Structure 1
């Protein structure tokens, strides 16, 4: 072959001169008991779901005063209220257990709630919070945890609860009305040992 027929070879740049894509950021968090300072973030997270989804069947947003009252009540009862916090201190989600029914005979049974910032969903945080809540509920003396899940688009929530030992105990159809439609609920229960 003639020298003219050779294609010029491209030499790779030395490694230290190559442009590297930055690594994907790690989704890091710490789960800890909630404090009064976390309540504005908790309120913001919850109110997003009130105004934009059927995940909660509340139709009115909650005030900070309401959250402070709930926090004080759960603290007085010794029931768990947990938050997942980013390394920068932002609340990414929360989980709590509250009395199922206001009768003394139900004192070992609680309804759990878990809510995440929309940007924190799909990353395993819900499972981590629910696992931590189950452990905290056991330490608080709870024997049963209940979940009441709105049935519209609830497949992922039902799957999450099933993966952690919750069993479906019943369904109620068309018991709530929000966003101009009827919504049913799925009841799930887990015994804490």
Structure 2
């Protein structure tokens, strides 16, 4: 995907989207009527990816923690395997792992399947890794809609629990450890 001609900005009263359609009414409604309120209430920061004429994509991020408990796994060995994979230290007593959550992510119907979503995920990974110097962030989390899980899988996310009974969303995560020293530059640049 060529990101030339696209700008990334944080939502504010001057940049708020007037129209947007990603094919999901709930996501559209969030962007058009709730995103600015979430920003003002310090609940989420929403970014807009725009060309000269319109918003082509948006995403919201906020701080999170992933609560890991043995009873959330199918077996004690699955729980231990997960913890070994996340923390290499032999004393793995953490129950909460610091994370950044993707609260919303939508790409306009007009440009879907063009690589914009992948570019956004790369940018979010870069943001989390960059801010790791000031405030620890081990994971990126998302409660993925069932129709979006394949997208997140292709971008390296894993299911927290394969036995997740929730049919609407699946809790997924991406471990940031492999990206700390090898993060490629994102083609998306934030404009101030």
Normalising by structure 2, report the TM-score: 0.57
Picking from 91, 94, 106, the partner of 2:55 is 91
User: Equivalents in 1 of 2:128, 2:3: separation in Å?
Assistant: 26
User: Equivalents in 2 of 1:83, 1:119: separation in Å?
Assistant: 15
Question: Where do 5+ consecutive residues of structure 2 fail to align?
Answer: 68-94, 181-192
Normalising by structure 1, report the TM-score: 0.57
- Supply the RMSD in Å over aligned alpha carbons: 3.5
After superposition, residues 1-193 of structure 1 pair within 5 angstroms as 29-36=5-12, 37-41=14-18, 44-45=20-21, 49-50=24-25, 61-62=29-30, 66-74=34-42, 81-86=46-51, 88-100=52-64, 108-112=98-102, 113-141=104-132, 142-151=137-146, 154=147, 157-171=148-162, 172-173=164-165, 175=166, 183-192=167-176, 193=180
Offset of residue 94 of structure 1: 1.0
Aligned residue pairs: how many?
A: 142
Question: Where do 5+ consecutive residues of structure 1 fail to align?
Answer: 1-25, 176-182
